[in-house]
């Protein structure tokens, strides 16, 4: 029925659709064209006066830079500088508000008073109010080491106060030869010995320390070939950790003048030590010579002589470095060793 009605009223429907198109499209477009707006482009037909040229005596205003706010000049010595620009008034991360008010211009350098809302509990008020700042920044001079105008004629005095490093202690040791095998036919000797020690010391820097040690040695040699000695030691210290040391030595003695009982001896040794904290500590070399003379006085054999020794070492305990300040040190070392022993049974 709707189709039949539309077929009979074709002209009426066409007139209604044309009127609807006219009221919906043509009339709104004409109305928008006569209202000033920036949403649609249009041609302005109103005549305006041309801009007057800027006189030569008037300075053009510098365009504000769109660079991000960096908080003042780039010198690291500036203190509490506040920029004149009002960009980034709200911190996007913390939400703190900041604002600046230009006051005066001193020879091209703007001076402004600024406000920052990020006030902490321990912050104190400045001379212009809490949160306000009028400090234009200051450049100060910091001296590191020698000043730039130092010409070498002045005297530089360095004073260092170092606490005295003193170590006092004592050690008790026990050593015994558990096996000895002399051979009178071949004129050879073989000895095996063990030892133990216990020590206590006090250092003004490190305090009280305990030290225990165990050692073993093998001595074998002949009268005409000399003597070889090999030793191995274990030391446990409360301050330095465990140290394992080993050494190898060779010694020889000869009679130089048999009639006068004058003889000589020489020895050479090499040793090394390994520590659990410092690693390989050192490698030592030593060489010694001795000349002696024996005589019988009141049925007792008395020996007199003189000798010399030379030792050298390579230390691995501390890496080499260049010290900044060299301080004079005075070191002294006093050691006393006493041994008491007896033979209970021998071959």
Assess if residue 58 is contained within a domain: no
pTM of the model: 0.45
Looking at the fold, whether 17 and 86 belong to one and the same domain comes out as no
Q: Quote the number of domains for the chain.
A: 3
Domain that includes residue 284, residue range = 240-318
Q: Looking at the predicted structure, is the pLDDT value of residue 151 above 50?
A: yes
Query: What are the tens digits of pLDDT across the range 157-185?
Result: 888 888 888 899 999 988 888 777 776 66
pLDDT at 46: 45
pLDDT score of 246: 92
pLDDT of residue 52 exceeding 60, the answer is: no
pLDDT-derived band at 33, boundaries 50, 70, 90:
low
Mean pLDDT of 194-223: 90
pLDDT band with cut points at 50, 70 and 90 for residue 210:
very high
pLDDT at 247: 92
If you count them, how many residues does the chain have? 347
DSSP sequence for 14-45: HHHHHHHHIIIIIHHHHHHHTS--SSS-----
Q: What is the percentage of the chain residues whose pLDDT exceeds 70? A: 68
CB 222 within 8 A of CB 186: yes
SS3 13: helix
Q: Is residue 6 part of a domain?
A: yes
User: Can you give the pLDDT at residue 25?
Assistant: 66
On whether residue 64 sits in a domain, the answer given is: no
**Structural domain contains residue 230:** no
- Asked, for residue 59, whether it belongs to a domain, the answer is no
The winner for highest mean pLDDT among 26-40, 75-89, 142-156, 331-345 is 142-156
Contact 95, 82 (CB under 8 A): no
**Within-domain flag for 180:** no
Indicate whether 70 pLDDT > 60. Answer: no
Per-residue pLDDT tens digits for 264-301: 888 899 999 888 887 887 888 898 888 878 777 777 77
Weakest mean pLDDT among 70-84, 115-129, 317-331: 70-84
**Does residue 305 form part of some domain?**
yes
Phi, psi of 47, deg, nearest 5:
-85, 130
pLDDT at residue number 99: 85
Supply the pLDDT for residue 51: 46
Q: Is the dihedral of CA 91, 96, 97, 98 positive or negative?
A: negative
On the 0-12 / 13-18 / 19+ scale of CB atoms within 10 A, 321 is exposed
pLDDT at 146 over 70: yes
Cα 65–chain centre separation: 43
Average pLDDT value for residue range 48-66: 42
Quickly state the pLDDT bin for 258 (edges 50, 70, 90): low
Domain for residue 280, yes or no?
yes
9 half-sphere exposure, CB direction, 13 A CA radius: 11
pLDDT of residue 76: 39
Higher pLDDT, residue 130 or 322: 130
Rg of the chain's alpha carbons, rounded to an integer?
50
């Amino acid at each position: 029925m709707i189709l039949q009605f539309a077929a009979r009223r074709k002209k009426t429907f066409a007139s209604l659709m044309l009127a609807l198109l006219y009221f919906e499209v043509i009339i709104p477009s004409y109305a928008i064209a006569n209202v000033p707006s920036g949403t649609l482009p249009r041609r302005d037909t109103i005549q305006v006066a041309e801009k007057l040229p800027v006189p030569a005596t008037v300075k053009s205003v510098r365009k504000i830079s769109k660079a991000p706010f960096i908080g003042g000049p780039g010198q690291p010595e500036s203190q509490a500088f506040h920029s004149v620009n009002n960009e980034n008034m709200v911190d996007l991360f913390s939400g703190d508000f900041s604002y600046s008010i230009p006051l005066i211009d001193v020879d091209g350098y703007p001076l402004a008073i600024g406000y920052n809302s990020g006030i902490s509990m321990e912050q104190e008020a400045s001379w212009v109010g809490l949160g306000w700042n009028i400090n234009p920044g200051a450049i100060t001079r910091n001296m590191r080491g020698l000043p730039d105008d130092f010409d070498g004629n002045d005297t530089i005095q360095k004073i260092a106060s170092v606490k005295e490093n003193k170590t006092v202690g004592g050690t008790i040791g026990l050593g015994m030869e558990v096996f000895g095998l002399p051979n009178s036919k071949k004129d050879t000797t073989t000895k095996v010995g063990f030892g133990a020690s216990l020590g206590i010391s006090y250092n003004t820097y490190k305090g009280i320390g305990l030290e225990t040690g165990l050692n073993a040695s093998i001595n074998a040699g002949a009268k005409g070939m000399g003597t070889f000695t090999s030793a191995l030691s274990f030391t446990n210290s409360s301050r330095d950790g465990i140290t394992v040391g080993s050494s190898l030595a060779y010694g020889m003695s000869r009679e130089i003048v048999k009639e006068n009982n004058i003889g000589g001896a020489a020895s050479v040794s090499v040793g090394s030590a390994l520590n659990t904290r410092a690693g390989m500590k050192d490698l030592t070399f030593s060489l010694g010579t001795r000349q002696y003379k024996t005589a019988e006085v009141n049925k007792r054999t008395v020996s007199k002589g003189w000798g010399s020794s030379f030792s050298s070492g390579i230390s691995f305990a501390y890496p080499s470095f260049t010290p900044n300040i060299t301080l004079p040190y005075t070191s002294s070392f006093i050691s006393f060793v006493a041994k008491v022993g007896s033979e209970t049974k021998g071959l």
